[in-house]
A and B are shown apart, each in its own frame.
Chain A
Amino acid sequence: MSPASTIRFYQTGSIAVGNRLLDPDQRSVQADEQRSNAITCGHRACQGCGEALGARYALDAAMRATGGRMIAANATGCLEVFSTPYPESSWRLPWIHSLFANAPAVSTGIAAALRAKGLDRDIRVVGQGGDGGTVDIGMACLSGMFERGDDVLYICYDNEAYMNTGVQRSGATPPAARTTTTPAVGPAPGASFTQGKSAPLIAMAHEIPYVATATVAELRDLEAKVATAMTMRGPRYLHVFVPCPLGWGSDPRETIHVARLAQQSGLFPVFEAHDGEVTGVTPIRRQVPVEDYLRTQARFAHLFKPQPHTETIARIQAQADRNIRRFGLLPDVQGGS
C-alpha cells in the first residue's frame, strides 16, 4: 500500500468529481472513463443546461448500479425534445417516450411486462420527466404508480417551469419568479406566494420506500442516492434540482453555482426519506442569504430594481429559514419533520 492511500485527507475531499489520489472505486461514476454517457454528445440542450447534466449524472449512476440492465421511460418536455429530434437520439440505453402525462404509467407498464416475462429481477425501470410532466401533468399517474407499489425509480428534473414551450409557470415555480405567464408587472410581480407544491413531500405522503432530493451541485450526494434507490424495490422518487440558464436568466457557466446557492441558502432542502420519514439531510456547509441566490437570475431581477423589494425578499428568506428549521439543515438548528 502506498503511503498516500493510508491517509484520509484528499485535498478536495469527496467534493470534487474525482481525485487522482483516490482509489478508482472510491471515485464518482462521472470520474470514470467507462461511464455509460447515457445521454451523449450532440444533444440540443442549451449551453450550460442543468437538466442535461442532471440526467447524465442520475442515469449513469443507475446504469452502473444495474450493470446497464435498465429501461427508461420519458415524459414530454425539454429533456425529451432536445435529446431526440427525429431521426437522431442521444440516448444510449433503451428509452421510450409516449405522452406528457403518462411517463409513470408507461414505467408501470414496462415493469409489469418485465414481471410477466420473468425479467424483473434482471432488468430495472426508470421513469423520468421535468417538473411540468411530474408535479402537474403527470401527477395522477405518478401518484397511482406510488400507491400501487410499482417497482420503478421515478426521477424528476426540476427546473421550475415549462421551459420547452417557452417558460410558462408550473406547480414548481417559486414565488416571485418571473415566467411568461407570471410577468413581473403589477403590485406583486412574478409568481404568487400562495401556489405551488412540493412533489417530494407529496411522494413521502404515499409512504413509499424511498424519496430523496438532490442538486447538480452535489454530484457525490446525487450518485449515492441513485445507488441507494437501485438497491431497493418498489416505487422510489428522486427530485433533482436543475437550473435552466434560458428560463431563469442565469449565466450558463453558473449553472452549478446557482444550484449550490439554492441549497446553501436553504431554499432547496436536500434530504432523503425512507417510508415517509426523513432519515438524512445534507447540511448547509457555507450558508448564504437568499439574496445571493436570487441575484444570479434575471427571473428575480425585478426584486432588486429600481430598489430592492425588501419585504418580498424577506418572505423568501423566511421560506429558506423554515426549510432550515424543518429539515435541520444547519448543525446548530434543531429540526426534523
Chain B
Amino acid sequence: MDKPFAITLDVGSSLANHTGSWRDERPQYVHRLPPCNHACPAGENIQQWLYHAESGDYESAWRELVLDNPLPAVMGRVCYHPCETACNRAQLDETVGVHGVERFLGDEAIRRGWALPGPPQGVAPSGKRVLVIGAGPSGLSAAYQLARRGHEVTIREAGPRPGGMMRFGIPRYRLPRDVLDAEIQRILDLGVTLLCQAPVANVMEAMREGGYDAVFLAVGAHIGRRAYIPAGDAAHILDAVGLLRSVEEAQEGSDGEGGEDRPGGVEDGAGGAEDGAGGAEGGPLLGRRVVVYGGGNTAMDAARTARRLGAHDAIVVYRRTRERMPAHDFEVQEALDEGVMMKWLSTIKQAEPGKLVLEKMELDDTGFPQPTGETEELAADSLVLALGQDVDLSLLDGVPGIEIEDGVVQVDERMMTGHPGIFAGGDMVPAERTVTVGVGHGKAAARNIDAYLSGAEFVHPPVPDLVGYEDLNTWYYADAPATVAPQLDLIRRQSTFDEVVLGLDADNALFEARRCLSCGNCFGCDNCYGVCPDNAVLKVDSGDGYAFDLDYCKGCGLCAVECPCGAIEMIPETI
C-alpha cells in the first residue's frame, strides 16, 4: 500500500465504464430509396450518380448512370424528368435540375470518348442469341443490357437509321442528331449487330430463320391516328408523325452523310400552297398558315416544326384548356415563346381548301368538353393531325398466346407476352409513351430475358423504404436556388433547327449536382460523428465510412435526428 493519503483505488479512465448497456435502441446506418430514383422510369440511381458528380468525378458519375441507361445525353435533353417532379428539394426551395447534370455528363462522355462497360468480369458469352426488333430507345436499351450479360444480340430495324422516335419523332432542335448517333454507336461498339431497313414481317419466322432463343419486340407506335373530319377534295391534311418523319428524312438528305438510299421526299406534302412552310429544307409543303389539331407533346413539336419550316402562323387547336393539355407545360411555354398560337376549347368540324370550320366547346362539370353548336372559320393552308399514334402489330399475326388490347400488346411483370420467349416493351405495350419509359422497359425485359434464357426467374432485389421530406433534417442544407439553363435566342429558334435549350457548363453542373439532398443515403457530412455526446461514432474505411461504437452508445438518437439525409434509423434492442 504505497498510495497517497486517503486514496484506496487505482485511478483510471472512464473508458472502463461501458455505457452501451444503458441503451434500449441502437442506431443503424441505412440506405433508403430517394424519390428521384423511385420516380425514374429507367430506374436510374440518380442520387448515387449525383454523389459522384458532386466531387467533380464526372466519369464515375457517368459510369454509375449508364448501368441503368446507356443514353444519358439523349435523356438529359428529352426526358420529362419525373425525378424532378418527385424531388424533395422542391419543398425546400426548387427541385434539383437533374436533367441538366445528366445532359452535362452525357455530353462530357461523348467529348471524352468514354466507352460503355462491357460484360462485367466473370460473365462469359452465354452462347444464346436474342433478336431485338426495333432500334428505338427500348430496343437499344435491351440490346445494351443483354450484351452486358453475355448474349449475342441482333437488332432488326425497319427504318433507314436507328433511333426510332428519337430520330423520326423528336425534332432536331430538341435532340441534335450527332448526340443521338454518338450514343447509339457506343452501344453497337459492344458487339451488337444492327440491321437497318430490315423490317420483320412475321416474328415466328424471323426467330426460326435466325435461330434466336428469345425476342424482344420494340417496334414503337408510328402510325398517326386519323380522326374523321369531313374534308373537301383539295383540303390539305397530314399527320404529325408523318410530318416529323419527312422533315427528318429531308434534313438527313441535305446532311449529305449516311448513304443508305433514303426516300428523300415528301409523301404527304403534295398539293400545298405555293409559298410558306416547306421546300427550303426539302420537307413537306405546309403553306403560310398551319393548323395543328391536338394537345399533346407531338402537337407542340409539329407546330414548332411548322414555324421553323417558314409557316407564318402555326396554330394549335385543342378541344380543352391549357391546364388540361397532355403536353408538358414547359413544351407549351416554349412553343408560345416561339410564336405558336393556341386555340383552346375548339374542335374541327370540317376542312375545306384554305379554311377550317371549328366548333366551340365547353367543359362540363366533369371537365369533359361538350359541343356548343357555335361554329367559326379559321383560315388554314394545311391541317396537321396530332391525335395520337397506333402500333403496327402485323408482325404478330398468328402468333399463339399473344394478347392485344386497345391496340397494344399485353405483357406480364416480366415484360413477356403470352407467348413464352417473346418479350415486348416501349410504345407498343400499355404504358406512358416516353423515351425514358422505353429505356426502362428495355432494361427490365433484358433482366428477365437473361433469367428466362438460363431457365431461372429474375427476382428484383428488395426495394428499401421511400424517403419523404419529413425524414430529412433540412437545416443543414445551404440555401441554393436552381441553376437555369440558357436558351437559344428567339429569332434562331423560330427559323432554324438549332438546339433550343443549351447545356450547363462544368461550374453550373457541379453546383446543380451539389444541390442534391442525398435523400436516404449518407453523403459523408460528419454530423453523426460530431453530434454524439458519447463519442460513440467512429470513422472507418469500410462501408459507409462510419460505424457505431456500441460499447458506449447510449442510444439517445441524436445522430439519427441530426442526420441531414435520413440515413440513420433507430431500432429497438432485443433483450
Q: Which residues of A contact B (CB under 8 A)?
A: 2-4, 7, 9-21, 27-28, 30-31, 33, 37, 40-45, 47-50, 52-53, 56, 83, 86-90, 219, 245, 251-257, 260, 286
Contact status B478-A253, CB under 8 Å: no
Contact status B558-A40, CB under 8 Å: no
Chain B 95-115 interface mask (CB, 8 Å, partner A; 1/0): 000000000000000000000
**B window 516-561: CB within 8 A of A:** 516, 518, 523-527, 529-536, 539, 549, 551-552, 554-558, 560-561
Contact status B477-A12, CB under 8 Å: yes
Contact status B561-A28, CB under 8 Å: no
Cβ of A87: which chain B residues have Cβ within 8 Å of it?
9-12
**B454 lies within 8 A of chain A by Cβ:** no
What is the interface of chain B mostly: helix, strand, loop, or mixed?
A: loop
- Tell me the minimal C-beta distance from A216 to chain B in angstroms: 8
**B15 lies within 8 A of chain A by Cβ:** yes
- Tell me the minimal C-beta distance from B21 to chain A in angstroms: 11
**B293 lies within 8 A of chain A by Cβ:** no
Name the contact of B535 in the complex, choosing from A7, A12, A17, A56 (C-beta under 8 A): A56
Chain B 7-32 interface mask (CB, 8 Å, partner A; 1/0): 00111111111110010000000000
- Given contacts A14-B478, A40-B14, A86-B9, 20 further A-B pairs with CB under 8 A are A4-B56, A7-B510, A9-B514, A10-B514, A11-B516, A12-B476, A12-B478, A12-B525, A12-B564, A18-B529, A19-B524, A20-B55, A21-B55, A42-B552, A48-B556, A53-B558, A87-B10, A88-B12, A252-B558, A257-B562
Contact status A52-B534, CB under 8 Å: yes
Name the contact of B526 in the complex, choosing from A2, A9, A19, A260 (C-beta under 8 A): A19
Measured CA separation A43–B18 after assembly (Å)? 9
Measured CA separation A48–B557 after assembly (Å)? 8
A-B contact pairs, 10 of them (CB 8 A): A15-B478, A20-B524, A21-B55, A30-B526, A30-B530, A41-B14, A43-B14, A50-B533, A52-B533, A90-B14
- Tell me the minimal C-beta distance from A57 to chain B in angstroms: 8
Contact status A7-B507, CB under 8 Å: yes
Cβ of A12: which chain B residues have Cβ within 8 Å of it?
476-478, 525, 564
Contact status A47-B554, CB under 8 Å: yes
Q: Which residues of B contact A (CB under 8 A)?
A: 9-19, 22, 54-56, 475-478, 480, 506-507, 510-511, 514-516, 518, 523-527, 529-536, 539, 549, 551-552, 554-558, 560-562, 564, 570
Measured CA separation A8–B551 after assembly (Å)? 39
Q: From A57, which residue of chain B is reached at the shortest CB distance?
A: B530
Cβ of B557: which chain A residues have Cβ within 8 Å of it?
48, 251-253
Number of A-B pairs, beta carbon distance below 8 Å: 170
Cβ of B555: which chain A residues have Cβ within 8 Å of it?
47
Beyond A12-B564, A53-B531, is A89–B14 a contact (Cβ under 8 Å)?
yes
Name the contact of B17 in the complex, choosing from A13, A30, A42 (C-beta under 8 A): A42
Name the contact of A41 in the complex, choosing from B514, B523, B536 (C-beta under 8 A): B536
Cβ of A30: which chain B residues have Cβ within 8 Å of it?
526, 529-530
What is the interface of chain A mostly: helix, strand, loop, or mixed?
A: loop
- Tell me the minimal C-beta distance from A215 to chain B in angstroms: 13
Name the contact of B514 in the complex, choosing from A11, A16, A219, A245 (C-beta under 8 A): A11
Cβ of B515: which chain A residues have Cβ within 8 Å of it?
11
Cβ of B511: which chain A residues have Cβ within 8 Å of it?
7, 9
Name the contact of B556 in the complex, choosing from A18, A56, A252, A260 (C-beta under 8 A): A252
Contact status A41-B475, CB under 8 Å: no
Measured CA separation A75–B12 after assembly (Å)? 21
- Tell me the minimal C-beta distance from A61 to chain B in angstroms: 12
Contact status B525-A53, CB under 8 Å: no
- Tell me the minimal C-beta distance from A168 to chain B in angstroms: 23
Measured CA separation A326–B560 after assembly (Å)? 35
Contact status A11-B478, CB under 8 Å: yes
Cβ of B478: which chain A residues have Cβ within 8 Å of it?
9-15
Contact status A31-B530, CB under 8 Å: yes
Contact status B556-A47, CB under 8 Å: yes
Contact status A28-B530, CB under 8 Å: yes
Beyond A2-B56, A86-B9, A89-B11, is A257–B534 a contact (Cβ under 8 Å)?
no
- Tell me the minimal C-beta distance from B138 to chain A in angstroms: 35
Q: From B539, which residue of chain A is reached at the shortest CB distance?
A: A33
Beyond A16-B476, A47-B554, is A11–B13 a contact (Cβ under 8 Å)?
no
Contact status A42-B530, CB under 8 Å: no
Contact status A17-B527, CB under 8 Å: yes
- Tell me the minimal C-beta distance from A10 to chain B in angstroms: 7
Cβ of A86: which chain B residues have Cβ within 8 Å of it?
9, 11
Cβ of A19: which chain B residues have Cβ within 8 Å of it?
524-526
Beyond A7-B511, A20-B524, is A44–B19 a contact (Cβ under 8 Å)?
yes
Contact status A44-B17, CB under 8 Å: yes
